[in-house]
Structure 1
Amino acid sequence: MKLQEYIPRLSRKQKLVRNLLAAAMCLFLLEWMMGFPCLTAEGLLRRAERMYLMEGTELLYDGQERGAGGVCWPTVYGRAGDTLLAVRYGRSPLGRQLMTAELYREPDNIYCFRQMNFFGELPLQVLAFGDLREAARTEMECTVEVTAGVGDVKRTLLRETYAAEGEWAAPGAVAFTLTPRYGEEDTSEAAVTERRLFGGEVAAQNYEAVLRLYDESGRLLHEKQVEVLEEESYGW
């Protein structure tokens, strides 16, 4: 006797229900294998909260400019009281997969960093996020130093301060783009070094920054000194 004779025949509706149940089971298994990706930026923050036993995290900015695996990872920025979060994630067909979550605690609850500049693909960019909502205008001065040599035998090739007006990415995040000061026709050592720096050919030995926040009348609300401007592979 053939095996088919023992298997009951299903109606069209029964086959449809069977196929839907099988698809749901496959989807659940796939979600489980991928760690149950989040559908929203808020969902990523909730998951990061649980990792660090936090609560009440506010979404400041959802940086999605660059895709996973590129120069920078997409990043969600949040705030939980006096703690700032930067949550890297990867994209998948089922949602956003949490990669890493970094926490920052600053006296003024504002964190500044510069974005990695691989192969000269990006201009020099800085992002500040945190307690910025009271500011109507922002500006940043960034002092960059490039040296040559080792040990006590060093020579300064470039030391310049670049000023940039902030562009709001969100109420809680502002971006700054630094632009060269020397013209293309300038052949001085500092000018050549600057072009190589902005082209990603050389690295600066130090980045210092001053962030200033102003109200609508132009009154200075806050000034933040950053002695070492860290480089991060966050996207925005």
Structure 2
Amino acid sequence: MEIFRFLLFVFLTFFYLSYNSNSQKCKDFLIFDGSEQVVEYDIDTTGNWWILTRPYSDEFRLILPNSTTATFKEIKNLTFSPDGSRWAFFGRNNSGWNLVTSDTTIPLFCENVVDIGFSPNSEGFFYAYKNGMQTTVNFNHKQATLINYEGKIFLNFDGTLIAFVLTKGRSKTLVVPSRFESENFDEIIPLGFWADDEFIYAGRRGNLWQIFKNQKAITEDLLGIIDMKINWNGTN
């Protein structure tokens, strides 16, 4: 326990000094008293610190800025919004899995949990869970049911649209629910939503690739894709 206290002191002192380097004044502050066993701790890329503790032999708790959660048998997918103002994770208790956010806790009634993600503007988010072969994605007060989905779920800038890749036999298709479904390809590399809410992705048929914006091809045939990036500002 003493070594955990020492490491936490060093870790959090570094955090405080790093984010207050322009200040002429320094002061000590206590965020955790070491009363529970520390399992893991870190600082997120948004600058938020978190500590995972084990207050009981089979239960875990998260300590976050301005918040200490209930205990859970298992904790997964702690995710912060890009601006660092919101967070969410999955917590399993005796009743099953729950979505736990900075605002509320929602029972999920599912066999397993899949993923959580925030939109680039931090205002929208999705959470996905699974029952059998069926994956359910909740976003923007809407729900999508997926079968044979693979890879990542993408959100547009304000979190009102999602996109994902589905497998149909040996073919793959890119889907934005209520917007469009691409043609079938042998392989798809999804990139993300552009500023106009159209989705950019690469599709391969045989040995040739093309890059698409929704249904429209925006390149000639290519022999391969080395790298792709998207500009959220909508410029080239």
Say whether the fold is shared (TM-score over 0.5): no
After TM superposition, the score normalised by the length of structure 2 is 0.29
Query: Relative CO higher for 1 or 2, CA cutoff 8 Å, sep ≥ 6?
Result: 1
More helix by share: 1
Bigger proportion of residues as strand: 2
